[in-house]
Amino acid sequence: MSKVALSGAGGIVGSILRKGLRERGIDLRAAGGSRPLMPLFDGEDVMHGDLRDPAVVDRLLAGVDVLIHMAGTSVEKPLPEIIDNNLRALVEVYEGARRHKVRRVVFASSNHAFGMYPVQERLQLGSAYRPDGFYGLSKVWGEALARMYWDKHGIEGISLRIGTTMGKPPKNARQLSTWMGTEDLLQLVQRCIEAESVGYAAVWGISNNSRAYYDLSEGNVIGYEPTQNAEDWAAALLAQPNPLDEVARSFQGGAFVTQDYTPPTQRARRA
């Protein structure tokens, strides 16, 4: 059985994956950030450390066949933090993958690499990037890095364009489009581990939502077929007040768009 590493294992998604992948028989090494990671069960292979440190990356990737890279800043933050955690650390991870001959890296990208699209548009896997902030921009860069390491070094890469996944039902109207349920999350990551010869590919990380912003009918190279649907909660959610402002309701990135947003009336006028 091949060894799989999971970075970012201390977060909500990481905790779901630690438990769920073990139940599916995956031999997993779980890595947290600066704080020690408490084992969820006896004998769990856990570690922690700063992924900007090559020695920490070496401990994470020794003997590993596939890395599920969920670590990094996951919300909009000042640019220096984004650069440190989502750019510098990612390069160290990929360089470590080269040293240890890791076969495949699964990169946690984000819907926010496309957040400036209007909510009325339905996106294809090949749609142009339209990030809604520095966080989304870092995911564009990360997808390009994953592509480069496949083209230049032969490390397979899968960019998971994750929507909203928390281990809970959707909680607002936007999440009727972006939600991914726990069973679909586990299926998605398992397919990333087990799929044959993917080269480089991107996959929408959402459930089979009736209101999805993304066209899931075109399929994907890993064979991910989501079965859950946020529409099961639509009636109750749509009966509640929408917490998003007018700008956030207009763009796929939601509240991320509103942060540091210049209204059209305040923008420079063209001559």
Q: Among residues 94, 117, 135, 224, which one is catalytic? A: 135
Concerning whether 135 is annotated as a catalytic residue, the answer is yes
pLDDT per residue, tens digit, the chain (271 aa), is 689 999 999 988 999 999 999 999 999 999 998 889 999 989 999 999 999 999 999 999 999 999 999 999 999 999 999 999 999 999 999 999 999 999 999 999 999 999 999 999 999 999 999 999 999 999 999 999 999 999 999 999 999 999 999 999 999 999 999 999 999 999 999 999 999 999 999 999 999 999 999 999 999 999 999 999 999 999 999 999 999 999 999 999 999 999 999 999 999 886 5
> Per the domain annotation, does 90 fall within a domain?
yes
Residues in CB range of 172: below 8 A, 6 or more apart: 237, 240, 242, 243, 244
Q: CB of 72 within 8 A of CB of 107?
A: no
Domain of 22 in residue numbering reads as: 3-266
> How many structural domains compose the chain?
1
> Per the domain annotation, does 22 fall within a domain?
yes
> Per the domain annotation, does 225 fall within a domain?
yes
Task: Write the CATH number for 96.
Answer: 3.40.50.720
Q: How far is CA 267 from CA 101, 137, 248, 253, 270, in A?
A: 49, 21, 18, 20, 9
> Per the domain annotation, does 191 fall within a domain?
yes
> Per the domain annotation, does 252 fall within a domain?
yes
pLDDT at 146: 98
> Per the domain annotation, does 92 fall within a domain?
yes
Radius of gyration of the chain (CA): 19
> Per the domain annotation, does 223 fall within a domain?
yes
> Per the domain annotation, does 271 fall within a domain?
no
Tell the burial category of 131 from Cβ atoms under 10 Å away from its Cβ (0-12, 13-18, 19+): buried
